[in-house]
């Protein structure tokens, strides 16, 4: 099933594509003119999931988007104090190529403007048999997760058009910010700007910063967290140059643009965003890139104020309902159906907050389920908070599932937040089933699977004593003989049939209806152990517990029973000891099967 996030990006691409303003950067090698219609969007999560639409794999020059990564390399090489002596961390409010140095120190205001980037290029040295340029390109490559290259032809044309940058380099040299050959510093800077990347590369580079400096796909630490903290801080205040204030207000993500048409934005702890579209506005920023980031920030709630919490996956576990069976004791036929089709119902346990990253991980888990999964149970009891995006995406998922004949089921706990109300209807008008406990949700799915695949739930059945599975090993005459010794009893909904502590009251055969078996947990709370249906028995286990009832049996709806009382058992043992022996063997076999199943299910039921 297509992810709602992928669908949203496709719609966004189609809507923003129509923006016709802006002019592509005019400096490029002959025959490599940028195409104004090119447009791509990529979103990469910190666990390596990449969503992409449009022109996502076409290479273009990284240009000024290189600045944060070279800044990070210089910080890693020299430390904060040494770098701070060369470049400040203050927003300038000036264009990217403004000549604005501190009058007392000569320092550029920050590393995102050209003067600051030239200062960083002047600091980075070769090492380990690699030139400064090679080390820079390697750093970008490690961030992207693949080998990148710097274009010689792009460098040559940029070098011929760099009089202003050349003058900046000499000015920085004159005040001691660049301590070596200023032309060499300019060449290093232009070589880094000429590195060829794709929209996907930029998204993963952004995700590396979002992930605290660790590349999501390779797991390699490219930068330490202290370096990432500094880089993102400067990007937030200065990455969009003289448009930085409006950017922080409307988008709220550390970002960097490049005249090559790229835009990179970082949602710390959650995701990296990249947009490629060549037409630029008067600030040198991509027109479609700006609008895409604004729309994503608004629609996906990616502003840093809204998405301030941890962005790790909200999905804690995924399992088939056969691994967490309900408390309903099923007949042999029903158990066989559930064993065969239990994989068609899947439980997804969710925990934490459902903002962008949490919602994305949940949407991904549901979207990637096999088409054979007909019921999706979302256990949301450990979700603490959620944004508008969570409700929007859950509603979208529910509609997509319903459109293909599948069902979403919610488990919300005692106090469900408003967005989990389950009042959204699918295309067929059906509402989302909502349960307070996981056991009830599993029971709902089991009943639906039984109805769909050939064994209707026992709740609708009536099973005579002579047809009871517990007595199936006896002959027909013996079954009728036992039935003749039993008392018929009826109970209304909510009646207590047997209470804990009572002496053995006979063997109860359920003819119709359901009965809940209730016990007390260590905290003194009453809990439902299981639900028995027609054709099942209870009461005989009291014989193995000092003739005392260990649980309470409560009617669920109207119940009809046949009871082999203690008095009738005495008559049977006196008049027909052989049949009495056969009866106890049959009940022992049935009880053993029941206890064995309880033992196997006890551990998983602790989560209910």
Q: Determine the pLDDT at residue 99.
A: 63
Which residues have CB under 8 Å from 539's CB, separation 6+? 498, 504, 505, 506, 507, 508, 549, 553, 563
Q: Where are the domains of the chain?
A: 4-299, 315-457, 465-605
Q: Determine the pLDDT at residue 426.
A: 45
Q: Determine the pLDDT at residue 306.
A: 67
Rounded to whole angstroms, the Cα distance separating 113 from 118 reads 9
Instruction: Mark the ranges of the chain whose per-residue pLDDT is less than 70.
Output: 92-103, 241-244, 306-313, 327, 329, 414-430, 455-460, 541-546, 591-608
Helix 356-367 × helix 388-403 angle, to 10°: 10
Q: Determine the pLDDT at residue 593.
A: 61
| The model's pTM | 0.75
Are 458 and 450 spatial neighbours (Cβ–Cβ below 8 Å)? Answer: no
* Exposure string over 292-318, b if 16+ CB within 10 A, otherwise e: bbbebbeebbbbbebbeeebbbbbeee
- The topology (CATH level 3) of 315-457 is Transcription Regulator spoIIAA (3.30.750)
Output phi, psi for 262, to 5 deg.
Answer: -90, 150
| CATH no. of 465-605 | 2.60.120.10
Nearest alpha carbon to residue 241 among 102, 114, 84: 114
| CATH no. of 4-299 | 3.40.710.10
User: What dihedral do alpha carbons 496, 498, 500, 506 form, nearest 10°?
Assistant: 180
Q: Determine the pLDDT at residue 378.
A: 94
């Amino acid at each position: 099933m297509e992810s709602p996030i992928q669908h949203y990006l496709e719609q966004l691409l189609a809507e923003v594509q129509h923006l016709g303003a802006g002019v592509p950067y005019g400096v490029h090698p002959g025959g490599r003119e940028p195409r104004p219609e090119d447009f791509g969007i990529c979103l990469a999560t910190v666990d390596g999931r990449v969503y992409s639409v449009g022109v996502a794999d076409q290479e273009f020059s990284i240009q000024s988007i290189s600045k944060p990564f070279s800044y990070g390399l210089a910080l890693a090489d020299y430390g904060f104090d040494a770098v701070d002596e060369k470049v400040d961390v203050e927003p300038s409010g000036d264009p990217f190529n403004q000549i604005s140095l501190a009058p007392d120190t000569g320092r550029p205001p920050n590393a995102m403007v050209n003067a600051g980037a030239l200062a960083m290029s002047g600091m980075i040295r070769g090492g380990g048999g690699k030139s400064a340029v090679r080390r820079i390109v390697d750093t970008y490559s490690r961030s992207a997760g693949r080998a990148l290259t710097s274009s010689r032809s792009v460098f040559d044309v940029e070098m011929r058009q760099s009089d202003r940058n050349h003058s900046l380099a000499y000015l920085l040299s004159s005040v001691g910010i660049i301590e070596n050959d200023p032309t060499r510093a300019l060449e290093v800077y232009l070589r880094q700007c000429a590195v060829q990347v794709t929209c996907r590369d930029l998204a993963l580079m952004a995700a590396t910063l979002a992930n605290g400096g660790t590349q999501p796909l390779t797991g390699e630490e490219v930068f330490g967290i202290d370096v990432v903290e500094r880089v993102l801080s400067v990007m937030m205040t200065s990455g969009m140059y003289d448009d930085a204030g409006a950017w922080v207000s409307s988008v709220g993500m550390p970002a960097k643009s490049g005249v090559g048409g790229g835009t990179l934005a970082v949602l710390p702890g959650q995701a990296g965003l990249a947009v490629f579209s060549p037409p630029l506005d008067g600030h040198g920023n991509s027109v479609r890139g700006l609008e895409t980031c604004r729309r994503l920030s608004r629609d996906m709630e990616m502003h840093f104020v809204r998405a301030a919490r941890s962005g790790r996956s909200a999905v804690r576990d995924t399992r088939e309902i056969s691994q967490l069976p309900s408390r309903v004791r099923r007949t042999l036929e029903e158990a066989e159906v559930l064993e065969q089709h239990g994989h068609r119902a899947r439980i997804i346990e969710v925990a934490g907050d459902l903002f962008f990253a949490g919602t994305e991980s949940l949407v991904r888990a549901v979207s990637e389920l096999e088409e054979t999964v007909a019921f999706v149970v979302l256990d949301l009891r450990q979700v603490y908070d959620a944004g508008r995006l969570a409700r929007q995406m859950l509603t979208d998922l529910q509609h997509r599932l319903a459109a293909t004949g599948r069902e979403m089921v919610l488990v919300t706990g005692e106090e469900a937040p408003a967005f989990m109300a389950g009042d959204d209807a699918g295309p067929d008008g059906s509402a989302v089933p909502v349960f307070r406990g996981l056991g009830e949700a599993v029971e709902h799915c089991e009943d639906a699977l039984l109805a769909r695949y050939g064994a209707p739930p026992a709740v609708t059945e009536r099973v005579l004593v002579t047809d009871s599975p517990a007595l199936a090993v006896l002959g027909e005459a013996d079954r009728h003989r036992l039935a003749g010794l039993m008392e018929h009893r009826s109970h209304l909904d909510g009646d207590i049939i047997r209470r804990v502590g009572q002496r053995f009251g006979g063997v109860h055969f359920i003819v119709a209806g359901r009965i809940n078996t209730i016990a007390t947990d260590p905290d003194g709370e009453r809990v439902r152990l299981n639900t028995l249906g027609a054709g099942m028995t209870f009461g005989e286990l009291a014989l193995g517990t000092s003739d005392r009832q260990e649980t309470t049996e409560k009617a669920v709806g109207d119940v009809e029973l046949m009871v082999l009382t203690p008095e009738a058992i005495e008559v049977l043992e006196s008049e027909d000891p052989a049949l009495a022996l056969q009866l106890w063997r049959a009940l022992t076999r049935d009880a053993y099967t029941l206890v064995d199943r309880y033992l196997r299910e006890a551990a998983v039921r602790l989560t209910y």
